[in-house]
Amino acid sequence: MSHIRWVICGLLFLATVIAYVDRSALSLLKVTLEGKIPGLNSDSYSTITAGFMYAYGGGLILAGGLTDKLGTRLSFALAITLWSFAAMLPGAAHSVEGLVGAMVLLGVAEAANFPVCIRTVAEWFPQAERALATALFNSGANAGTMVMPFVVVFFTARFGWRAAFVAIGALGLLWLGLWLLIYRRPEKHPWVSPGELRHIASDRGEAAAKVPWHQLLPVKETWAFAIGKFMTDAIWWFWLFWLPTYFHSEFHLQLGQTSVPFATVYLISIAGSIGAGWLPAYWLRRGRTANFARKMSMLVCALAVTPVIYAPFSHSLWTVVGLIGLAAAAHQGWSANIFTIPSDVFPKTAVASVVGIGGLAGAIGGGLFQELTGIITSRSHHNYLPLFAMACCAYPLALLILHVMTPRLAPARIAGRLV
């Protein structure tokens, strides 16, 4: 049997790496740009990052539906072309307004990444492998954020911060060539053997008809997924956009000094993403239900976040790195499992739309949390304790709500019928 599905998963991983390099570069350069961009401070930075989040959420509304309509190959090609050029625009900014505009466009374009990736996993993998495949491509978020400091520091030191944005934006155009060369649907791919095709379709019995949005919105499984994303995505974006600033304010680290602690957090989180993606497959092979496998994995992740509450009380940089790294790893494991829920309970033709709805909720939560972070840090002399406390509580509460709304991960009832 061929294994082309894992090659496709590798492409999704690389795309996610590039997306996170592009979107997180500004967080590392924020302290540097405060002396170069007039008016840039914690308040205005929270406006910039919130603008990215709200645009990202709006883009998810478009991305989910367009992916289900245009298909994965064309949707991804269009999206990464747009976001590659958008990622270069901060290098041309001379004001806070310019940074806001660049990050808004980047948010709209990058919104396609996860709906397309989840749709691709639903097309290329049977249910037992979806959480692992999702975990593998989702680990690209950690890898991208991990390598970003070294890429940005390298180009900034040699060519200036503007050249750094141009360089990272160009990475997506290189990936685009690989995508167009390699990607096809499994039944049309010349490299896929009949054995692998049978394996991919081994547990499929899904309807081929499109499911319109107005039929998805009243479904409780849609809202369970969306509420889970709203409550927990905000925490991930907090780490992504504010961690370099936190290291600077608490430990007085400058641009070059931030790279290793920042990268270490996301190196730790890679293990959590892949490990929590492996757990459901482990339990499914031992006869457990998908409901047990998903939710038990999510419970492990939710509990692993809670020690982060001790980080604001520590004066050791590497203790803080370890605690935040564990929390980031737990989030990525959580994310790999919650992203798999739509493909567990919805037909594949609706998966990207449901992911788009949930992603919109997550982006709104992230945007509100960005604004809250700016308010708290600027008015409390950089007291991060309330933010860490919210991070500690968000996951257990989200899992409780998810379980109450969907006690069994059974096929969703859409328009009065099971699918």
Dump pLDDT digits (tens) for 104-156: 999 999 999 988 998 899 899 997 888 789 878 988 888 898 899 999 999 99
- Of 244, 270, 383, nearest to 326 by C-alpha is 270
Among 58-72, 95-109, 267-281, 403-417, the range scoring the smallest mean pLDDT is 267-281
Q: Average pLDDT for residues 324-352, to the nearest whole number?
A: 86
- pLDDT at residue 418 is higher than 60: no
- Please compute, for residue 41, the number of CA atoms within 13 A of its CA located in the half-sphere on the CB side: 9
The confidence score (pLDDT) of residue 286 equals 87
Domains defined along the chain, listed by start: 4-182+213-411 (1.20.1250.20)
- pLDDT at residue 419 is higher than 60: no
The confidence score (pLDDT) of residue 48 equals 97
- pLDDT at residue 90 is higher than 90: yes
Buried b or exposed e, range 5-38, using 16+ CB within 10 angstroms: beebbebbbbbbbbbbbbbbbbbbbbbbbbeebe
The confidence score (pLDDT) of residue 115 equals 83
Share of the chain above pLDDT 90, in %: 63
Task: Please tell me the total number of residues recorded for the chain in this structure.
Answer: 419
- Of 383, 388, 283, 385, nearest to 328 by C-alpha is 388
The confidence score (pLDDT) of residue 311 equals 96
- pLDDT category of residue 205 using cuts at 50, 70 and 90: low
Task: In whole angstroms, give the CA distance from residue 60 to residue 52.
Answer: 12
Q: Average pLDDT for residues 223-246, to the nearest whole number?
A: 95
Q: What is the mean pLDDT of the chain?
A: 90
The confidence score (pLDDT) of residue 85 equals 95
- pLDDT at residue 229 is higher than 60: yes
Alpha helices per DSSP H over 89-219: 96-110, 113-124, 127-159, 161-182, 194-200, 213-216
Q: Residues near 231 by Cβ (< 8 Å), separated by ≥ 6?
A: 365, 394, 395, 397, 398, 401
- pLDDT at residue 13 is higher than 90: yes
The confidence score (pLDDT) of residue 193 equals 94
Q: What is the pLDDT of residues 366-380, one digit of tens each?
A: 999 999 999 999 888
The confidence score (pLDDT) of residue 45 equals 96
User: What is the separation of C-alpha 267 from the centre of its chain, rounded to a whole number of angstroms?
Assistant: 16
Q: Taking each helix axis from N to C terminus, what angle separates 113-124 and 72-88, rounded to the nearest 10 degrees?
A: 150
Q: Name the residue with tokens 């004001």.
A: 95
The confidence score (pLDDT) of residue 209 equals 63
- Of 170, 164, 71, nearest to 112 by C-alpha is 71
The confidence score (pLDDT) of residue 182 equals 95
- Rg over alpha carbons for the chain, rounded to the nearest Å, is 20
The confidence score (pLDDT) of residue 337 equals 87
- pLDDT at residue 206 is higher than 60: no
User: What is the separation of C-alpha 419 from the centre of its chain, rounded to a whole number of angstroms?
Assistant: 27
Please, are residues 239 and 370 in contact by the beta-carbon 8 Å criterion? no
- Of 297, 277, 403, 411, nearest to 344 by C-alpha is 411
The confidence score (pLDDT) of residue 295 equals 92
Q: Average pLDDT for residues 333-362, to the nearest whole number?
A: 84
Compare 68 and 354 and report the one with higher pLDDT: 354
SS3 category, 211:
coil
- pLDDT category of residue 335 using cuts at 50, 70 and 90: confident
Q: What are phi and psi of 208, to 5 degrees?
A: -90, -15
The confidence score (pLDDT) of residue 278 equals 76
Alpha helices per DSSP H over 217-316: 220-251, 255-285, 290-305
Token pair belonging to 260: 């290793």
Stated pTM of the model: 0.84
Q: What is the pLDDT of residues 49-74, one digit of tens each?
A: 999 999 999 888 788 778 878 889 99
Q: What are phi and psi of 309, to 5 degrees?
A: -60, -20
For the ranges 18-22, 114-118, 201-205, 262-266, the maximum mean pLDDT occurs at: 18-22
